[in-house]
Amino acid sequence: MAAETTAAGPDAATDGAPVAAAIPPERLLLGPGPSPVHQDVLDAQARAMIGHLDPWFLKVADEMADMLRTVFRTQNQLTYAVSGTGSAGMETAVVNTVEPGDTVIVGINGVFGGRIADTARRAGADVVALEEPWGRVVPAERVASAVKAHPEAKFVALVHAETSTGAHQPLQEVGELLADTDTLFLVDTVTGLAGVPLEVDAWHCDVVYSGTQKCLSVPPGLSPITFSPKAEAVLDRRSSTVRSWYLDVSAVRRYWGAERAYHHTAPISSIVGLHEGLRKVLAEGLDARWARHAEVGRLFQEHIQDRDATLLAQQGHRLPQLTSFGWPQGVDEGALRKRLLEEYGIEVGGGLGDFKGTAWRVGLMGEGATHDNVDRLLHAIDELLEG
């Protein structure tokens, strides 16, 4: 090649002290994500690199997609893992369904509904926002009225498990309402999947995405997603090109389908890790896993209320795997949370948006949903409150 001038090289190796290897401290992850990951999953991720078109890897990817179908409770052919975190799954769901000028109906009762609305607007949609106070769920009647007023709506979007508030959105009634219409049902279950019941097919959910780092207990980096035949038909009928190249399902599905056409290099080791994580989920069984989350979450919610904390999600609609609660006035939540991390090695999350500075978010998700972890957390909280 033509000679190009390179600078005399100040490498980190010669420029300053080399950077030390990153050895993490011990942490018990009881925040809103990531959740604790089983060593088998970490080991699976570390089990050597392999090509993304290698026949062995394609078989593993197919097995992974099959297990996703089982966990989603769906027969949907178009089921795969988006090469990005949960928010990339959200964007995939939105930008592939929306065309400029479309109307969409979005329930907003926390951060993540707002995010769907924001993304839909960027894709050119007119958003009908069904706003509810943070912590409450969106009533099916509100959705029914909105659909009646906007029968042309491309989709109704609801957040199954609102990670910012701990609200547990019912889905079935809305799914049944939309089943006989042209409107799709888009569901964010980033924090829901494998933690609380979800029946993608039986509840008529059309585009459903999740994350790996919540109740699946797999490191962040992938977003499981599934599209119903009704949703696929909408994708096939698009008249405009999807605004994203990276997330364009019409191209990505040629890799995940029989054709195996190269689109982008899949995050290979992450997919092998997800394969192992799903094996663990299915070995436990979904019913058992839902029951474990329900029991452990209820236990924590009972006991934290004994500490004068106020649960922020509305009664009857509380996620067991993610509890958002406000401390009584006078408690410095930030200082308490910092000491919990530094002195006990336990991570919990602070409040977002309306709840910033006054609330905590405690996740008892996946591997983290154990009686022992509830005991450790409550014991640490009691010592800190006394101290």
**Chain residues 75-94 in contact with a copy of itself, contact rule CB under 8 A:** 83-88, 90-91
**24 is a contact residue toward a copy of itself (CB under 8 A):** yes
Q: What is the CA radius of gyration of the chain?
A: 22
Residue from 318, 326, 336, 381 in contact with a copy of itself (CB under 8 A): 318
The helix/strand/coil state of 97 is helix
Tokens representing residue 31 in the block: 């925040």
**204 is a contact residue toward a copy of itself (CB under 8 A):** no
Q: Is the dihedral of CA 303, 307, 309, 310 positive or negative?
A: positive
Site string for a copy of itself, 112-131 (x = CB under 8 A): ---x--xx-xxx--------
Bond prior to 24 in cis (omega within 30° of 0)? no
**36 is a contact residue toward a copy of itself (CB under 8 A):** yes
The identity of residue 9, as a single letter, is G
User: What torsion do the CA atoms of 338, 115, 363, 294 make, to the nearest 10 degrees?
Assistant: 160
Tell which positions 154-193 bind a copy of itself, by CB under 8 A: 168, 170-172
- Please, what is the minimum distance in Å from the beta carbon of residue 257 to a copy of itself? 19
Find where tokens 């007119």 sit: 126
- Please, what is the minimum distance in Å from the beta carbon of residue 218 to a copy of itself? 9
**205 is a contact residue toward a copy of itself (CB under 8 A):** no
Q: In what order do the strands lie in the sheet with 359-363?
A: 310-311, 322-326, 359-363, 349-350
| Listed ranges 144-152, 236-244, 304-312, 373-381: which one lies at the site for a copy of itself (CB under 8 A) | 236-244
- Please, what is the minimum distance in Å from the beta carbon of residue 200 to a copy of itself? 10
Residue from 245, 257, 302, 370 in contact with a copy of itself (CB under 8 A): 245
Contact 179, 207 (CB under 8 A): no
Q: Which residues contact 332 (CB under 8 A, 6 or more apart)?
A: none
**37 is a contact residue toward a copy of itself (CB under 8 A):** yes
Q: What is the C-alpha separation between 10 and 243, in angstroms, rounded?
A: 40
| Listed ranges 57-65, 147-155, 231-239, 323-331: which one lies at the site for a copy of itself (CB under 8 A) | 57-65
Q: Where do runs of H (alpha helix) occur along the chain?
A: 12-15, 39-45, 55-72, 86-97, 111-122, 140-149, 172-179, 229-236, 249-256, 268-284, 286-306, 333-344, 371-386
Tell which positions 353-372 bind a copy of itself, by CB under 8 A: none
Q: Which is nearer to a copy of itself, 135 or 328 (CB)?
A: 135
**26 is a contact residue toward a copy of itself (CB under 8 A):** yes
Tell which positions 259-288 bind a copy of itself, by CB under 8 A: 262-270, 272, 275-276, 278-279, 282-287
Q: What is the C-alpha separation between 318 and 112, in angstroms, rounded?
A: 16
**12 is a contact residue toward a copy of itself (CB under 8 A):** yes
**47 is a contact residue toward a copy of itself (CB under 8 A):** yes
**29 is a contact residue toward a copy of itself (CB under 8 A):** yes
The helix/strand/coil state of 249 is helix
- Please, what is the minimum distance in Å from the beta carbon of residue 288 to a copy of itself? 9
